[in-house]
Structure 1
Amino acid sequence: MTAKTLPKVIVEQIRSPIGRPADQRATLKGLKLNKIRRRAELEDTPAIRGMIAKVAHLVRVVEND
């Protein structure tokens, strides 16, 4: 059986969630981010892309090296 590996996306938190709505804070936690300059490597799925779009003003997508 061959396992399909999904491409990865690296997301970095660049702004604080202080003063943001609770759903945006929860989205950051779902992306495994909780402090500025933290990075998380996640599978590149439509659900993850939607989460990134929701908090696009707080994160940035880092290019894979």
Structure 2
Amino acid sequence: METVRMTDQKGALISAQTEVGTYTSDSQHIRDLIRREQARSADIEATRLALMKASPAGRLVHSA
């Protein structure tokens, strides 16, 4: 079991979502946030790989 520390403002946001019934517990909300971040990271990596595959040289060129 881990303890998560956050600002009072962020803690209040988590608690508010629990109080209105969006989540059944603060822990459920945190787990959902982690799952969403994992999915977002996987989507970004899949997009990056697709772009590399589509690139003629197999690499990405970033222009500023």
The alignment's TM-score, normalised by the length of structure 2, stands at 0.29
Higher RCO structure (Cα 8 Å, ≥6 apart): 1
Flag the structure with higher strand content.
1
Flag the structure with higher helix content.
2
